[in-house]
């Protein structure tokens, strides 16, 4: 087995928050101790699409959970969105903000004037999630961006469809952006994951070219890291599960699949392929998956996460879409 871990050669770890470090107010099992063990030798930054809180309040929450975090360690989608906005409108412009304190704080720090009304003739709209966002706020955005405002910039912090909460999965900012899109018939510029802007912000701040992104979502964390040329690890403690991993398209495939963050410190087994007649055997640790034509079978189970790694590699390297393959339920149940 390889002695290399997912942290080998890494100078900075970029960790998503919801679904990776915490779910609701509480930490995810093994997350805090695993991150603290990294922080002794590798720079740790946190990169989040959640636009509802300030970087200072996020850092305070992380400290309450037992992590060593300061506001400068937090890269937020409002920060990335404000940087995008600054390239589109003059300094000091009036901006219609749809969102909470996490967004208004960054807009004001950038020197813009915040308004909540289309009647103030804003120069642009910036939109992010907050639990208090309601129809009246979405309507003001729509009023601003239609008619004579149809050419005004509209920047969204992110378009995540869902947010993991302590009670389950809740609608995310993507659902709110979609409501405005439906009303005005155009799409915003997006700054957060999976767009590169937020990764550029992080890499500039932390001054590193060798990073590892930790995420729980293929369509934001992993896709964004791949677009930014950053290695990534999917941790199975949040939104995406084995089913989504097996069906991941090439742009959303991580370099590492972890059951939880303890896997960062453990040797990561290499994927070994061999042939047996007309079949291909794919091994990860003690788990072996055989691919013969379009049929996959499990020939050795091993640990659940190793079985998923082997199954994912067997599917990803087949050259076929998952719906064209016969995939045993053992791989995703």
Residue from 16, 73, 105, 221 carrying the catalytic annotation: 16
Tell whether domain 78-189 is in CATH 3.40.50.1000.
yes
Residue 2: per-residue pLDDT: 59
pTM value is 0.90
Nearest CA among 301, 328, 312 for reference residue 236: 312
Region 167-191: mean pLDDT is 95
DSSP secondary-structure letter at 327? -
Nearest CA among 248, 215, 245, 247 for reference residue 230: 215
Region 212-221: mean pLDDT is 96
Is residue 16 flagged as an active site residue? Answer: yes
Alpha-carbon distance 259 to 263, whole Å?
7
Residue from 18, 55, 216, 221 carrying the catalytic annotation: 18
Give residue 28's pLDDT band: very low, low, confident or very high (50, 70, 90): very high
Is residue 221 flagged as an active site residue? Answer: no
- List all residues 6 or more positions away from 163 whose beta carbon is below 8 Å from its beta carbon: 18, 50, 129, 169, 170, 171, 172
Where do you find CATH 3.40.50.1000 in the chain? 12-75+194-265, 78-189
Alpha-carbon distance 201 to 47, whole Å?
10
User: Per the CATH hierarchy, to which homologous superfamily does domain 12-75+194-265 belong?
Assistant: HAD superfamily/HAD-like (3.40.50.1000)
Angle at 50 between CA 48 and CA 54, to 5 degrees: 90
């Amino acid at each position: 087995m390889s002695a290399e871990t997912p942290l080998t050669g890494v100078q900075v770890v970029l960790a998503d928050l919801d679904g990776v470090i915490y779910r609701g107010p509480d930490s995810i099992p093994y997350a805090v101790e695993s991150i603290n063990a990294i922080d002794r030798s590798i720079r740790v930054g946190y990169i989040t699409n959640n636009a509802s809180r300030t970087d200072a309040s996020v850092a305070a929450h992380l400290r309450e959970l037992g992590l060593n975090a300061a506001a400068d360690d937090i890269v937020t989608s409002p920060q990335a969105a404000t940087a995008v906005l600054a390239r589109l409108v003059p300094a000091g412009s009036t901006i219609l903000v749809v969102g909470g304190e996490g967004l208004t704080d960054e807009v004001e720090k950038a020197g813009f004037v915040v308004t909540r009304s289309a009647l103030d003739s804003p120069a642009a709209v910036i939109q992010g999630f907050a639990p208090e966002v309601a129809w009246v706020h979405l309507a003001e955005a729509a009023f601003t961006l239609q008619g004579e405002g149809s050419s005004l910039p509209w920047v969204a912090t992110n378009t995540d469809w869902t947010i993991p909460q302590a009670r389950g999965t809740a609608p995310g900012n993507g659902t709110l952006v979609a409501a405005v899109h439906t009303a005005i018939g155009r799409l915003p510029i997006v700054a957060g994951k999976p767009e590169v802007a937020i990764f550029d912000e992080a890499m500039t701040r932390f001054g590193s070219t060798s990073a590892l992104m930790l995420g729980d979502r293929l369509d934001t964390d992993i896709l964004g890291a791949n677009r930014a040329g950053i290695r990534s690890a999917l941790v199975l403690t949040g939104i995406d599960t084995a089913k989504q991993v097996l069906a991941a398209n090439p742009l959303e495939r991580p370099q590492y699949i972890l059951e939880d963050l303890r896997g960062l410190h453990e040797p990561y087994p290499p994927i070994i392929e061999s042939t047996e007649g007309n079949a291909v055997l794919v091994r990860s640790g003690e788990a072996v998956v055989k691919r013969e034509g379009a049929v996959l079978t499990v020939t050795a189970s091993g640990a659940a996460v190793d079985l998923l790694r082997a199954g994912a590699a067997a599917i990803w390297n087949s050259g076929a879409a998952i719906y064209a393959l016969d995939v045993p339920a053992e791989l995703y149940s």
